[in-house]
Amino acid sequence: MSYKQSGRMKSGYEANKYSEHDDRKTGSEGFNYSRLGGRGRGRSSNRGRYMRSDTRSQSTSSGSFARGGKYQPRRGNRSSHRRPFSRGRNFPNRKYINPDANTDNDGDVDMQGEGEGSGRYNPYARPHRRARFVRRDDNPSQSWHKIIIIHGALYDEKWLREEISKNAFVEYQPVQYHLDGNNSAFFLDDHSTAESIRNCSKKIVAPDGTKLTIYLKPAKDAPLQENDITLLKEVLSERYNSTTKHLSLSSLFFDDKLKNQNVKIKVSSPVHMYIVTKIIAENISTLTSLDMTDSGLFNLDGVKHLVQHTPCIKRLNLSKNKISRMKELEKIQGWDLSDLTLDQNPLCAEYKSKADYIRDIRECFPNLQILDSHPLPAPVKFDVDKTRLPTSVPDFMPTTGQDIIKQFIQQFFKCYDESRSQLSEAYHENCIFTLSLPQSPRGPALSHYFSVSRNLKRIKDTAKKISTVTTSRNDVISLLVKLNGTTHYFSSFSVDVPLITSTVVNFIVRGVFKENGSNGVLRSFSRNFFCQISNTSLQIVNEQYFLRNPTSDELREAKTYASKQKSSSNVSQQSEIHVKMISSFAKESGMNLSFSEQCLKENSWNYEEAGKVFLMLKEQGKIPLEAFGK
């Protein structure tokens, strides 16, 4: 068979009569598969999918007709069945990169790639899966920036400012520092300073060992100026009724006096609510009724900071807001409300039963009498005589055996911090020791202790339950030596003694310590000692060691613990030096210890000066004879 008789070559020859970019030739007879990279008649190609619409309807349909009229389904990959140019249609609002950006002023293709677009110009290229758009940023130097510190509400503001300044190497003045839920935030008007602070994210280590996360974002609204805050004070003063102690924050955003001065106060904004809270706390903290109708509240993160400053509030109106979760009301449980209005909130529509609605509200506010302007039935309560619980005290130590317990605790933890191998005398030869961690610890990782932890809720293997119990003195000491080095804060200690007899004593020591190392992570502990009394010493028979991360209150007091520890160590060092000075002075002067101490104190513990004064007074005969008596 000659080439001229080949139908395939004939169709290819006829197709080549047209221009390379002309796709007017359609149908199975005239389509040149070899030129487009296809392998056969039913096989599609990448260029075949991007033909114009007039050819797409014939030659890129779901199948093709070969010679003889028989339908043959397409055998290409699944992606070839998709409609051409379908990707990118769903982005009508995005700004596409202009293809003409790759052309010069004469309309020719810019081969140097110096136009607005990036990459080589390709008129047949397939559009990207996601449409590219140009982001238009305003001049950053002319706008306010908001710095957000995640969980910053747990830490002291002064400490945060010092740490940020030290790590960012900048001096800055935060504008309107405020609390946003559990986070803290402030504003800056300098873009470079804000960027420097943002770059400190994960570089500042909190007292509990957590690395602080810092976010930077453009501020939606500029912070209020001093004259705006003054105007807000005047408006709140007009809205406050001193007779009924009622304050109305209803629709504060639409207040005429504020609108005339173009001041927009959004109670739903944490920074604005923080300013309102500050004004209320300083001027009208005794108010008993608060109206926050139509304030655009989605949550009560800003309102919860008002609870501690206004403990007398009994009536609260939150109607016409956007509160959708019952959990939000838990944030203001500190108010003992008797009248609450929640009408026209999404939360109300979630309840089909009125009884369930009242029950859940009363779980937060048990003394509530009026809900949504309707009186509630009296709550079901049992007639139980109110008994006053005893006042909680940090320590409970009986007078009997108090000295021996205190002495043991001081010596034990001093050796534990300095040299744990010296603790062998504190443990009985056949003692038992266990260490346990919380099931779901939060905060810095406790993974270093997992291998020895005996948490029965986590451990299911019986063999491991037994292996985590240490049952001899040598094994206990070797285990303690492997644990991280520590520095215990003695000022954080509290001691409870639930049992003491003539032979045994049980006491529990709770407190905070710092792990030695670069991070200096804080931990809280509780050690339950069961000791045997022998003569005037104690030996540990059983110890249960509970370890966890500190609470937010313990973290706030961490600095106090550290300063007290430092001052007490200085005092103890000084006292040891003074004892040696008194003993030496008494030997050289011949006076007893009390007069030697008096002489040194009067001369500000200056040994040479005290010696000169002693010799002078001795020559004058002014030292009494009892000073030399033992």
Give mean pLDDT in consecutive 10-residue pieces for the chain, a chain of 630 residues: 43 45 45 44 45 43 46 50 48 47 49 48 54 45 81 86 89 86 87 91 82 88 85 91 91 89 86 89 90 90 88 92 90 91 90 88 90 84 64 77 88 90 91 88 80 78 84 92 89 90 92 82 92 88 92 74 57 66 86 85 86 88 78
68 & 183 share domain: no
98 & 50 share domain: no
426 & 286 share domain: no
Q: What is the pLDDT of residue 63?
A: 46
Name the token pair of 524. Answer: 């809280």
**Residue after which a domain boundary falls, among 200, 223, 246:** 223
| 118 in any annotated domain | no
| 381 in any annotated domain | no
| 265 in any annotated domain | yes
Q: What is the pLDDT of residue 54?
A: 44
CATH number, domain containing residue 165: 3.30.70.330
Name the token pair of 261. Answer: 């001065």
Q: What is the pLDDT of residue 116?
A: 45
Residue 412 belongs to what H/E stretch? helix 402-418
Q: Which residues of 187-213 are buried (b: 16+ CB within 10 A; e: fewer)?
A: bbbbbebbebbbebbeebbbbbbbebe
| 116 in any annotated domain | no
**Residue after which a domain boundary falls, among 191, 223, 255:** 223
Its domain, for residue 36, covers: 1-90
541 & 452 share domain: yes
67 & 25 share domain: yes
**Residue 606, SS3 per DSSP:** coil
Amino acid identity of residue 593, one-letter, is L
236 & 366 share domain: yes
Distances from the Cα of 359 to the Cαs of 205, 316, 362, 373, 467, in angstroms? 44, 18, 5, 16, 48
CATH number, domain containing residue 368: 3.80.10.10
| 387 in any annotated domain | no
Q: What is the pLDDT of residue 563?
A: 60
Could you identify the residue written with the tokens 């705006």?
A: 228
569 & 587 share domain: yes
Is residue 110 within 8 Å of residue 102, measured between CB atoms?
yes
465 & 591 share domain: no
453 & 501 share domain: yes
CATH number, domain containing residue 564: 1.10.8.10
| Alpha carbons 192 and 170: distance in angstroms, whole number | 10
- How many distinct structural domains can be found in the chain? 5
| 325 in any annotated domain | yes
| 434 in any annotated domain | yes
Q: What is the pLDDT of residue 99?
A: 47
| Alpha carbons 55 and 57: distance in angstroms, whole number | 5
512 & 586 share domain: no
Could you identify the residue written with the tokens 């305003």?
A: 138
Q: What is the pLDDT of residue 371?
A: 92
Distance between start and end Cα atoms, the chain: 138
The distance of Cα 364 from the centroid of its chain, to the nearest Å, equals 26
Angle formed at CA 334 by CA 350 and CA 185, multiple of 5 degrees: 85
335 & 292 share domain: yes
Short-list 81, 105, 191, CA closest to 144: 191
Is residue 528 within 8 Å of residue 543, measured between CB atoms?
yes
CATH number, domain containing residue 453: 3.10.450.50
| CB-count exposure of residue 436 (10 Å: 0-12, 13-18, 19+) | buried
Q: How many CA atoms lie within 13 A of 490 on its CB side?
A: 16
| 237 in any annotated domain | yes
**Residue after which a domain boundary falls, among 223, 246, 268:** 223
Distances from the Cα of 150 to the Cαs of 155, 183, 219, in angstroms? 11, 5, 17
Q: C-alpha dihedral over 471, 473, 477, 480, to 10 degrees?
A: 40
Q: What is the pLDDT of residue 315?
A: 93
98 & 5 share domain: no
